[in-house]
Chains A and B, each alone.
Chain A
Amino acid sequence: MTAAPLLTAEDLHKSYGPTAALDGASLAVSAGEIVAIMGPSGSGKSTLLHCLAGIVRPDSGRVRYEGREVQAMSDAERSALRRTRFGFVFQFGQLVPELTCLENVALPLRMERVRRREAESRAAEWLERLEVADVADKRPGEASGGQGQRVAVARALVTGPRVIFADEPTGALDSLNGERVMRLLTAAARDTRAAVVLVTHEPRVAGYSDREVVVRDGRTRDLERTL
């Protein structure tokens, strides 16, 4: 790796009650890199992603984005980071059911106070790019699962984020739709030089990554680096 990593986690520990979700996890993500986080259920991979994104505060250890310690930021700063630098694609449920797909994609821009017309035209471009322009005026509930996930990808990408956090983005989809989402997500990420942190338990999905990190019992095994 030539440049300093964009996002790093050092020796993260996080417990939920008596169970340790993370027990010494470390990770570095460089700009534009697609990293797959794999591991068995309950190994702590989602917790790791949440810590990296500043959604969950680790009990100890550090998360840095562009050298700034994320835990030290205020809620407002972390929210701004999510708004401007990060994008999110989860398994389901991250779209606002009341808004149309187009409005959903435009929402992050609107929160950045982009004018509605402008925000929606940019949103429409992304919908087109993710091949879901036809559901623009439908509500998420009226779109199919695959379409919904692609809308979510469009929304994650619309602000031009540096990191996209994808937690089992194909978890609720069949192979064909899953492949389509992954193909479009990774292609768009590469085009925009966005890094992707991809949590998945499906090897075929991980096949879209550049690199894999295995989490086992809350600890990371960064394979290519240990080799």
Chain B
Amino acid sequence: MSARHEPGDGRGASHGGSAVLHDVLLGARFAFTGGRDGWTRTVLTALGVGIGVALLLLAAAVPGALQARDVRNDARTDYGIGEIPASDRTVLVGTADTVFRDSQVRGRVLRAEGPRAPVPPGVPAIPGPGEAVVSPALQEVLASPDGPLFAPRLGGARVVGMIAPAGLTGPGELAYYLGSDTLTADRATRLDAFGSFPTEREGLGPLLTLLVVIIFVVLLLPTGVFLAAAVRFGGERRDRRLAALRLIGADLRMTRRIAAGEATAGAVLGLAAGAAFFLAGRQIVPLVTLWDISVYAGDVRPNLPLVTAIAVAVPLVAVVVSLIALRGVSVEPLGVARRAATARRRLWWRLILPGAGLVLLVPMIGGFDGSAVAGQYQAAAGAVLLLVGAVALLPWLIDLVVRPLRGGPVAWQLAVRRLQFDSATSARLVNGIAVAVAGTIGLQMLFAGVQSRSVTSTGENTARAQAVVRTQVSAGASAGIEETVARLRATPGVTGAAGTLTDTVNGKPPADGAPPPVADLRIGDCSALAEFAHLGECSDGEVFLVHAGPGDPSGEAAFRPGSRVTSVDGGPAWTVPSGARTVPARQDAPISSSESILVTPGVIDTGRRSGLVAMTFVSLAPHDPDAVERLRNTAARIDPLGSVGVLSATEVARRFDGIRRGLYVGIVVTLLLIAASMLVGVLEQLRERRRLLAMLVAVGVRRGSLTWSVLWQTVVPVLVGLALAVCFGLGLGIVLLRMVSVEVSVSWPAVGWSAGLGAAVVLLVTGLSLPTLWRLTRPEGLRTE
């Protein structure tokens, strides 16, 4: 009877592509309309996603940035291999690296041997004698109040220019090129080009590779969890809105498409925000120097495939997460019903993820090969699955813990009932913390294992000397050593100095073709030699033998009275006099005893030996941090190519040190991120329940009780989450340590530290949410909107 079209023929069952687009756009519009609340939600989502995206972009840019550094570093290398004859197209390069206030300074002394001599990258021309070219960072140091503490190392040279970025690894690098007309080939490398032989880079080895892989997992996984949480900001409101749309005729597919459109819009806005954060953050990057590594903003450039992957994956994740969230509720025209509310959470599938993680990791126990890319991915995937498993188990565990709880004070009752009613929301808030803490604990354990391996004893003893200065003594100047020691001793802050001339000599090569034994030849007066051994009676003309220890009989055999020794640099052979006495080494010698021949000056004509190095052990005033800088200045004046080493009893692998600091920074940033997302979540929950809260206050529930109830509501899931995180973290740590065959030991302080940090985040978040709670619970809150 009706002339109207049948329902469903307008669109109904068969949706065209344009209908899809229409729904998605409609959803997208919801992301951008909706007054102050709507905007707040969108901005929060964009911020959250943006921070995550920026972190992802940064992580994606790290390899490229380091590679850019390496490329520039390779271009300026000055290794010479083989003999290059001097010509008008060669240059002599002397290494004058030094340290200034814990920062490495790359120093080179240059002497052009002709007009067509090669010029290092980033330098306009080879500086003439008395001229220097410095990096901008070094220029800043020179211009600063600290300048005078460094300037002497340039030997009074005039700064004639700056090294351009092409010649530096990063903007913070301290570097200089000093011109010279006295540099000679015996102390320098002759080059006809820079960058001919790239630096050999030390591989990381399985342990450090695993460490780096796990660090990426531990830092990026919470970012992922955070992303997932961020796209669900405003979820409850969204569900109600979708229900309203269902009433006026949106079918389930339209509903899903609208939700997807909304999520995409938020994610895309987040991508844009992330790109903006990244670009802004990139400008700050050059200001930061970590572990002597600084990076140009332009170097922080994630490669295109990774950027594309992020740009595609983030909205995809957003859509998938919001659709999964929709599966948990049934959006019907009459409203939203939580499907999972009454269903008891099942355990078995939640065990699949961590189980799969273990399945991936366990076969690698004892046999992890860091060089194989497949192994790295397997380890990463295993760790990810194990940690995500914690996320999957958490809601179940919270349910289990909360279900039997009863009674107690009003605050406790409110909190427990709320958790029993909806533990998923709380679980979601804690997920990120749990993952971060579990990852940190696993990492800490791996880290402790690495530490026990990477810290090596140097054999140096700092009790009597804190620095060693190596300077060349010009051939023939027998008085050189006395003068050197005197000048060093005269340096302010230096409390003592004892110097010997040092050469390294070979003994008679063994018959079987093994390498010849090596010994240090030290020439100095009795007092200087006494630094190394208990000499007993000593007068000029004596020779002493010090043996490395009972463990090395070959040394004792090779160096005895009458042995012939030759300098490793060539030079005349010399016979150990028959009167040479064997004396015991000093246990507190500044460097550990190796095979040594200690010679008083009267025995050897130093003038006839070239390649002798003056090695002066220096003790420094204990509380004068500038003393070592002044020492370096004096040393540079004596010999621009000399070196000053600071003694330390142990040496932590520098790379490892960097990783550790990076980890700490990363963990703190990650936890702050999670704190931000938790705060948003808690505030949202409070706002959702504002009428209820105001009503409770109106009927006389004390605000203190409400505060406690909010606190309990957070604390209980967090405690459960932290407990779970500790278990998973320890599990991960044990598996990882076994993978690299390191003895398993649990560092409880590290566990406490990680869990404590997690707990601190919760307290922070709860504290920050209290003002909102108080504002919402003013009786005015009862007013309907």
A contacts, CB < 8 Å to B:
3-4, 31, 50, 53, 55-56, 66, 74-86, 88, 90, 93-100, 103, 107-108, 110-113, 139, 141, 155, 162
- Listed from nearest, the 5 A-B pairs whose CB atoms lie closest are A83-B249, A98-B34, A79-B251, A82-B249, A80-B8
Residues on A with beta carbons closer than 8 Å to the beta carbon of B13: 74, 76-77
Indicate if B22 sits at the interface (CB-CB under 8 A).
Answer: yes
Roughly how many angstroms separate A107 CA and B12 CA in the complex, as a whole number?
A: 16
Q: Is B623 an interface residue (CB 8 A)?
A: no
Instruction: Please tell me if B10 contacts chain A, counting CB pairs below 8 Å.
Output: yes
18 of the cross-chain contacts (CB-CB < 8 Å) are A3-B1, A31-B1, A75-B251, A76-B12, A76-B251, A77-B13, A79-B246, A80-B251, A84-B7, A84-B249, A94-B248, A95-B244, A97-B35, A97-B37, A98-B37, A103-B33, A107-B245, A162-B4
4 more contacts with CB within 8 A, not counting A88-B248, A98-B38, A110-B26, are A55-B334, A76-B253, A94-B247, A95-B244
Q: Which residue of B lies closest to A88 (CB)?
A: B247
Set of chain A residues within 8 Å of B10, measured between Cβ atoms? 80, 84, 112-113
Residues on B with beta carbons closer than 8 Å to the beta carbon of A107: 245, 248
B1-37: CB near A (< 8 Å → 1, else 0) gives: 1101101101111000011001000100010011101
Chain B neighbourhood of A4, CB < 8 A: 1
CB distance from A164 to the nearest CB of B (A): 12
Query: If A85-B7, A94-B244, A107-B248 touch, does A79 touch B254 (CB 8 Å cutoff)?
Result: yes
Chain B nearest Cβ from A69, distance in angstroms:
13
Nearest B residue to A84 via CB reads: B7
**Separation in Å of the B401 CB from the closest CB of chain A?**
29
Q: Please name all residues of chain A whose beta carbon is closer than 8 Å to the beta carbon of B11 when the two chains form the complex.
A: 80, 112-113
Report if B250 contacts A (CB, 8 A). Answer: yes
Query: Are A93 and B244 in contact, with the CB atoms below 8 A?
Result: yes
Q: Are A141 and B7 in contact (CB under 8 A)?
A: no
Find out whether the CB atom of B33 lies under 8 angstroms from the CB atom of A155: no
Binding site for A on B (CB under 8 A): 1-2, 4-5, 7-8, 10-13, 18-19, 22, 26, 30, 33-35, 37-38, 237, 240-241, 244-254, 332-334, 785
Residues of B within 8 A of A76 (CB): 8, 12-13, 251-253
Instruction: Please name all residues of chain B whose beta carbon is closer than 8 Å to the beta carbon of A96 when the two chains form the complex.
Output: 30, 241, 244-245
A50 and B334 contact, Cβ closer than 8 Å, known pairs A94-B247, A107-B248, A113-B19:
yes
Interface centre among B19, B22, B35 (most CB of A within 10 A): B35
Chain A residue nearest to B41 (CB atoms) is A98
Question: A77 to B2, Cβ gap below 8 A?
Answer: no
Residues of A within 8 A of B253 (CB): 76
Q: Which of B2, B7, B22 contacts A81 (CB 8 A)?
A: B7
Q: Which of A66, A77, A103 contacts B8 (CB 8 A)?
A: A77
Q: Are A141 and B785 interface neighbours, CB within 8 A?
A: yes
Minimal Cβ-Cβ distance residue in B for A55: B333
Given A76-B8, A113-B22, A141-B785: A83 and B248 interface contact (C-beta under 8 Å): yes
**Smallest Cβ-Cβ distance to A46: which chain B residue:** B334
How far apart are the CA atoms of A138 and B176 in the complex, in Å?
67
Contacts of B5 in A (CB 8 A): 84
**A180, B715: Cα distance in complex, Å:** 52
A93 to B237, CA, bound (A): 12
**A108 to B254 Cα, complex, angstroms:** 13
Given contacts A76-B13, A80-B10, A80-B11, contact A111 B249 (CB under 8 A): yes
A146 to chain B, nearest CB (A): 14
Is B35's CB under 8 angstroms from A80's CB? Answer: no
A residues near B35, Cβ cutoff 8 Å: 97-98, 139, 141
- Report the bound CA distance from A139 to B34 in whole Å: 8
**Docked pose: A73 CA to B10 CA in angstroms:** 16
Residues of B near A86 (CB, < 8 A) are 249
Inter-subunit contact B34/A97 (CB<8 Å): yes
Contact residues in A for B251 (Cβ distance below 8 Å): 75-76, 78-80
Q: Which residue of A lies closest to B1 (CB)?
A: A3
Pick the most buried of A77, A86, A88, A97: most chain B CB atoms within 10 A of its CB: A97
Specify which of A93, A94, A98, A103 lies most central, judged by the most chain B CB atoms within 10 Å of its CB. Answer: A98
**Chain B residue with Cβ nearest A66:** B2
Instruction: Select one of A77, A95, A103 contacting B12, CB under 8 A.
Output: A77
Closest to A160 in B: B4
Find chain A residues with CB under 8 A from B247 CB: 55, 82, 88, 90, 94
List chain A residues, Cβ under 8 A from B333: 53, 55, 82, 88
Which residue of A is nearest B16, CB measured?
A: A113
A100 neighbours in B (Cβ, 8 Å): 33
Give complex CA distance A84, B2 in Å: 13
Q: Are B12 and A108 in contact (CB under 8 A)?
A: no
Separation of A80 and B9 alpha carbons in the complex (Å) = 9
User: In the complex, A162 Cα to B37 Cα: how many Å?
Assistant: 36
CA distance A77 to B99 in the complex (A): 78
Q: Quick check: B250 and A111 within 8 Å, CB to CB? A: yes
Residue of chain A at shortest CB distance from B334: A55
A78 surroundings in chain B (CB, below 8 A): 251
Do the beta carbons of B248 and A80 come within 8 Å of each other?
no
Chain B residues whose CB sits within 8 angstroms of the CB of A99 once the complex forms:
33-34
Q: Is the CB of B7 within 8 A of A80?
A: yes
Task: Report the separation of the CA atoms of residues A219 and B590 in the bound assembly, to the nearest whole angstrom.
Answer: 103
- Chain B residue nearest in CB terms to A110: B26
Inter-chain contact A55/B248, CB cutoff 8 Å? no
Question: A169 → chain B, closest Cβ, in Å?
Answer: 14
Partner of B241, one of A75, A90, A97, A155: A97
Contact between A111 and B7 (Cβ–Cβ < 8 Å)?
no
CA distance A94 to B11 in the complex (A): 23
Report chain A residues within 8 Å CB of B19.
113
* Residues from chain A with Cβ under 8 Å of B245 in the complex: 96, 107, 111
Measured CB to CB, the closest approach of chain A to B23, in angstroms, equals 8
Measured in the bound complex, the distance between the Cα atoms of B13 and A78 in whole Å is 10
Q: How far is the CA of A196 from the CA of B103 in the complex (A)?
A: 83
CB distance from B9 to the nearest CB of A (A): 8
* B252 and A75 contacting across the interface, CB-CB below 8 Å: yes
Contact with A98, one of B1, B8, B33 (Cβ below 8 angstroms): B33
Residues of B within 8 A of A75 (CB): 251-252
A156 to chain B: closest residue by CB: B248
Closest to A77 in B: B8
Residues of B within 8 A of A108 (CB): 248-249
Residue numbers in A under 8 Å from B30 (CB-CB): 96, 98
B332's partner among A55, A84, A85, A95 (CB-CB below 8 A) is: A55
In contact, A98 and B250 (Cβ under 8 angstroms): no
A76–B249 Cα distance when bound, in Å, is 9
Chain A residues with CB under 8 Å of B237's CB are 97
| B20 nearest CB across to chain A (Å) | 11
Closest to A167 in B: B334
Q: What residues on B are CB-neighbors of A66 within 8 Å?
A: 2
Q: How far is the CB of B676 from chain A (nearest CB, A)?
A: 24
Query: How long is the Cα–Cα vector from A86 to B247 in the complex, in angstroms?
Result: 10
Q: How far is the CA of A53 from the CA of B333 in the complex (A)?
A: 10
| Contacting residues, chain A, for B7 (C-beta < 8 A) | 77, 80-81, 83-85
Please indicate the chain A residues that have their CB under 8 angstroms from the CB of B248 in the complex. Answer: 82-83, 88, 94, 107-108, 111, 155
Q: Measured between alpha carbons, how far is A118 from B34 in the docked complex, in Å?
A: 22
Assembly CA distance A75 to B35 (angstroms): 32
A108 to B334, CA, bound (A): 17
- Chain B residues with Cβ below 8 Å from A113 are 10-11, 18-19, 22
A155 to chain B, nearest CB (A): 7
A50 to B334, CA, bound (A): 9
Most buried by A among B5, B18, B245: B245
For B2, the chain A residues whose CB sits under 8 A away are 66, 162
**Shortest CB distance B589–A (Å):** 79
- Neighbouring A residues of B38 by C-beta, 8 Å: 98
Which residues on the B side are within 8 Å of A90 (C-beta)? 247
Cα separation A111 to B227 with both chains bound (whole Å): 30
Q: Are B241 and A98 in contact (CB under 8 A)?
A: yes
Give the complex CA separation of A135 and B560 in angstroms. 108
Q: Which residues of B sit under 8 angstroms from A85, Cβ to Cβ?
A: 7
CB distance from A52 to the nearest CB of B (A): 13
User: Is B249 a contact partner of A80 (Cβ separation < 8 A)?
Assistant: yes
Bound-state CA distance A93–B12 (Å) is 26
